[in-house]
Homo-oligomer: A and B are copies of this chain.
Amino acid sequence: SNSVRIAVLPGDGIGTEVTEATLAVLEPLAKRHGIGITTEVLPAGAFHYQATGEGFPESSFKAAEAADAILLGAMGWPGIRQVDGTEIAPQLDLRFRLNLYAGVRPVRAIPGVPVALAHPRARDIDLVLIRESTEGLFHSRGKGLVTEDHAEETLRITRKTTEKLSRFAFLLARRRAQTRRRKGRVTLVDKANVFRAFAFMRGVFDEVAKDFPEVDNAHHYVDAMALDLIRKPWDFDVLPTENMFGDILSDLGAGLVGGMGFSPSADIGDDHAVFQPAHGTAPDIAGQGIANPTATLLSAAMMLDWLAARGAGQGFADAASELENAVDAAFGAGLRTADIGGRDGTAAVAKAVAARIGG
């Protein structure tokens, strides 16, 4: 089919602003490529919790589950907490309930956007972290034991999910290798020198690697990876890792290439996928119209690409690359958002990117 239904969860704070800007770009893009995109905006998030006592209404979940893809803004608010002290995070519910095991977080230097590292090769950064997103330490979310004296959480790694995650990583590396000059390489990030669970994870990964002899594979300890993402991030390609490690390393990666405002993400399972900027709700700048919508625009491009791979049609693939290219071209031509010291607001970015579509 060349028509899809997208569930949109704008969420809290700047989540609503960047989502609006992205929908404004998707409209002309869809027209130009002759693809049908209908959207349904659904309530969820911290303010919804405050107003109704429900952070993620079951009706919103059901509608999201029924859609072809889910586009999410950002959710959570520092002052609004559940009784156990944790925040409202429907995006985590989606990952668990829809079994979105592959958290895809590209780290790519965008033309014109300042990079953090002084090294001349910093502009060559182009890697993808795959954060496992249904187990690991997050298995324990909301289930931790707390007594007067101590507290415990359980990190859990399953063979099944590690197999899927590894396979996903190798398939992605193979696909990336086709569009790039270099040979694909998958590097598992673990802490197998200290923990049996990570030695187990490594063993499962190694088994899957045998099915992909044409892709290089390697292992790296998570602490060494934190160092090497500073020393030589341009050396890496596809990096699958445990949930908590991926949470930390993907923010590190975002810092290298302009910050969270430029960092898209996709949480992908066998049947569903959520696309959202890696950033949060940014209470300090919410409501001012200055939030950078680039991460959401790039997440939307990932969504179109994923829909194409699922059979929605070539128009979606074309729209995905045109959107990514339009973002690159706009920043390459001097667009500058507040987070990188410029004056272009949320709407201005949408306008500049839309102007390069079909141009």
Contacts and interface: CB of A to CB of B under 8 A. Distances in A.
A138 interface: yes
Interface string A228-260: 111100000000000011011111101110011
B193 A87 contact: yes
Interface string A179-199: 000000000000111111101
A192 B255 contact: no
A152 B155 contact: yes
A138 B227 contact: no
A345 to B, nearest CB: 21
Given A84-B196, A251-B223, A255-B231, A151 B157 contact: yes
A332 to B, nearest CB: 19
A230 B260 CA distance: 12
- Specify how many copies of this chain sit in the oligomer: 2
A151 B139 CA distance: 12
A268 B224 CA distance: 23
B259 A227 contact: yes
Interface string A96-128: 000000000000000000111111001000000
Contacts of A226: 226, 248-249, 251-252, 255
A84 B203 CA distance: 12
Interface string A131-162: 00000011011101110111111111111100
